[in-house]
Amino acid sequence: MLALAAHSLAAQAAARTILVYGDSLSAEYGLARGSGWAALLDKKLREMRIDYSVVNASISGETTAGGASRIAAELARVRPSIVIIELGGNDGLRGLALGATRANLDAMIRAARDSGARVVLCGMQLPPNYGRDYTERFRSLYAELAATHKVALVPFFLEGVGERRDLFQADGIHPTEAAQARILDNVWTVLAPLTRAAKR
């Protein structure tokens, strides 16, 4: 009986999954397969012998409305222990209503937490040409949501990357392969405490 219980616990540990739920910044847009930050995270976890696998359900062009519409299906499919939400950038670039963006992110956080998963919310920022009021309110909504729901926050997903033109592809929007390790560092700083219990 004890052996069976130990086997069951080991199986549960091995089944721990991190769901990366984002847009093109996480979907390896313009990059070689396996070179994006989510793939680097999966590799890091294996190297550190931490019992989590990574499922990347990111879609290029995704908005928070699209993310909110499919979150229930992804949670049921993956059954993650941790959900990393990296969405909102496309809303901002399109100048969408911030109230809708906030409501969609709120819905995704609630769905993930209701499923039993812990959440890491990745904060985003916009270029100043979108107007000071809009860009400031956009930036602050991530911290406000993280505080409301008491979830982990990456203050700025592209910290250390956003100000360096050489780390972006020709479109000026999508980071290059050289930027992926820094992006992972930004996420890992916040994610690491959530994974420590799974280290074997």
Q: For the chain, list residues with pLDDT below 50.
A: 1-14, 200
| Residue 4 within a domain | no
Domains of the chain: total: 1
What is the per-residue pLDDT for 3? 41
| Residue 9 within a domain | no
Q: Does residue 81 have an active-site annotation? A: no
Residue 129 contacts by C-beta under 8 Å, 6 or more apart in sequence? none
| Residue 1 within a domain | no
**What is the rounded distance in angstroms from the CA atom of residue 128 to the CA atom of residue 180?**
24
The string of pLDDT tens digits covering residues 121-171 is 999 999 888 889 999 999 999 999 999 999 999 999 999 998 899 999 999
What is the per-residue pLDDT for 15? 65
**What is the rounded distance in angstroms from the CA atom of residue 96 to the CA atom of residue 198?**
39
Q: Does residue 24 have an active-site annotation? A: yes
What is the per-residue pLDDT for 197? 63
Q: Using an 8 Å Cβ cutoff, are 138 and 126 in contact?
A: yes
| Residue 138 within a domain | yes
End-to-end alpha-carbon separation of the chain, Å?
A: 23
The one-letter amino acid at 11? A
For residue 135, the domain's CATH number is 3.40.50.1110
Which candidate in 8, 149, 171, 185 is catalytic? 171
What is the per-residue pLDDT for 162? 85
Which candidate in 8, 23, 24, 58 is catalytic? 24
Q: Does residue 171 have an active-site annotation? A: yes
Angle between helices 98-114 and 64-78 (to 10 degrees): 10
Q: Using an 8 Å Cβ cutoff, are 179 and 161 in contact?
A: yes
| Residue 43 within a domain | yes
Specify the pTM: 0.90
**What residue numbers bound the domain in which 64 lies?**
16-198
What is the per-residue pLDDT for 1? 40
| Residue 46 within a domain | yes
Which candidate in 42, 81, 174, 185 is catalytic? 174
What is the per-residue pLDDT for 129? 81
| Residue 180 within a domain | yes
| Residue 178 within a domain | yes
